[in-house]
Amino acid sequence: MDLLTFIGAAHRALSFFGGGPGSDQPWAAGEQEFERHFGVPYEAFVEIARHLDQEQERLLHATLEVNPEAAVLWILAMEEVEG
């Protein structure tokens, strides 16, 4: 996935939070609320998530559908592995 496509998908993911599971959560309302809740800027989530491989990306989308907060926490818990 190229960067522009991913950034668009990531912004859609944040807007997805507003319409699906977790939509009643304040952190799903926007980037400022996201940072207040998770303690990191939304851009950090996007930066980590853009390094996902295809299988991780599939798991992210599947988890977003059933438990968006768990999906975000999973991404934020990842550490970059230098190879």
Q: What is the DSSP letter of 39?
A: S
Count Cβ atoms below 10 Å from residue 77 Cβ, excluding itself. 8
**Paired tokens of 14:** 């944040």
Please identify which residue in the block is written with the tokens 């190229």.
2
Domain ranges of the chain: 3-77
> Does 28 have pLDDT greater than 80?
no
Mean pLDDT of 9-28: 60
Spatial contact of 28 and 22, defined as CB atoms under 8 Å apart? yes
Coil, strand or helix at 23: coil
pLDDT digits (tens, 9 = 90+) for 51-71: 888 899 889 888 887 888 898
At 36, is the pLDDT very low, low, confident or very high (cuts 50, 70, 90)? Answer: very high
State CA 60 to chain mean position distance: 8
